[in-house]
Amino acid sequence: MNESAEGAKAHLRISVVIPSWRDADNLESLLPALAKLERIAETIVVDASGDEKAERSALAAGATFIACPTPNRGQQMNLGAAACGGDVILFQHCDTGLEDAHLQAIQIAFVDPRVVGGAFFRKFDGRHPRLMWLESVARFLNRHGGTLYGDQSIFVRRDVFEKLGGFARIPLMEDVEFTRRLRGAGRIAVLDPPVQSSGRRHLCKGAWRTSIQNGLFIVLYNLGVSPYRLHRWYYGKTEDQPARPTAMSS
């Protein structure tokens, strides 16, 4: 790698934004690990649960804490991004791991000025035979224009994120909607090493059932069904109940 490329890597500042909702226990284990990663310029937790334990964990780990009145993941991520000062924003789920190798991969990817953002391939934890096929399918889809899901640690250049207007303030499919616009803004990098994402929903409800349901909801969204209606179907909530933070995993 030439000297200019090394310089571009060295001066890249990565801000990590973590939306949380009833995630105090996950924050308690994730944040100290992130605090040890020198490539992270700042960590911002945007919590919508009003949990004092989440705030204590954030402040103890040296992170910035922002309280969000409404549990809506897109809105939370926008609030966190607005407080960022880095060159790159990485949106991190509380139950997804992040290591120095992931940050290094981002820095290398952004040496190419045509890359506007991307995400990581996924590796499920809680190994289960019925989950194995999902990883290879997801890799194929990611390489061929598929959605980048929230639990893939989506990252984007901050100026590009601002030009795109951030995430849509919708209760479901905010990652699907954002992926469309991000892919239209420039080159996307989907990287290794894969992030280890919790497979708890698949294990709880069944891998086949969960994957088929998620695929069906994405088809319905692409056909024009309102994300508000899909949210009610997905979570069984009525319109007068607050929307929980949302992200679908294939």
* CATH code (residue 88): 3.90.550.10
Question: Helices 24-35 & 52-60, crossing angle to 10 degrees?
Answer: 10
138 falls within a domain = yes
Lowest mean pLDDT among 22-31, 95-104, 131-140: 131-140
Q: Which two tokens stand for residue 116?
A: 């506007």
What is the band of 122 on the pLDDT scale with cuts at 50, 70, 90? confident
Average pLDDT over residues 58-72: 95
Beta bridge partners of 196: 123
Supply the pTM of this predicted model.
0.85
243 occurs within a structural domain: no
Instruction: Output the pLDDT for position 250.
Output: 41
In a domain, 246, yes or no: no
- Domain encompassing residue 145: 3-235
- Mean predicted lDDT score pLDDT of the chain: 85
Would 249 be classed as within a structural domain? no
- What share of the chain in percent tops pLDDT 70? 80
For residue 212, being part of any structural domain is answered with yes
Q: Please check whether residue 242 lies inside any domain of the structure.
A: no
Q: How many domains does the chain have?
A: 1
Predicted confidence at residue 53, as pLDDT, reads: 96
User: DSSP per residue over 119-150, as a string?
Assistant: EEEEEESS--GGGHHHHHHHHHHHHTT----G
- pLDDT confidence of 129, banded at 50, 70, 90? low
3-state DSSP helix/strand/coil percent for the chain, to nearest 5?
A: 45, 20, 35
Where does the pLDDT of residue 203 fall: very low under 50, low under 70, confident under 90, or very high at 90 and above?
Answer: low
Q: Residue 44: left (phi > 0), alpha (psi -120 to 50), or beta?
A: beta
pLDDT tens for residues 24-58?
999 999 999 999 999 999 999 999 999 999 999 99
pLDDT of 240 above 50: no
Binned at pLDDT 50, 70 and 90, residue 136 comes out as: confident
Residue 141 lies in a domain: yes
Provide the pLDDT for residue 216: 84
Whether residue 245 lies inside any domain: the answer is: no
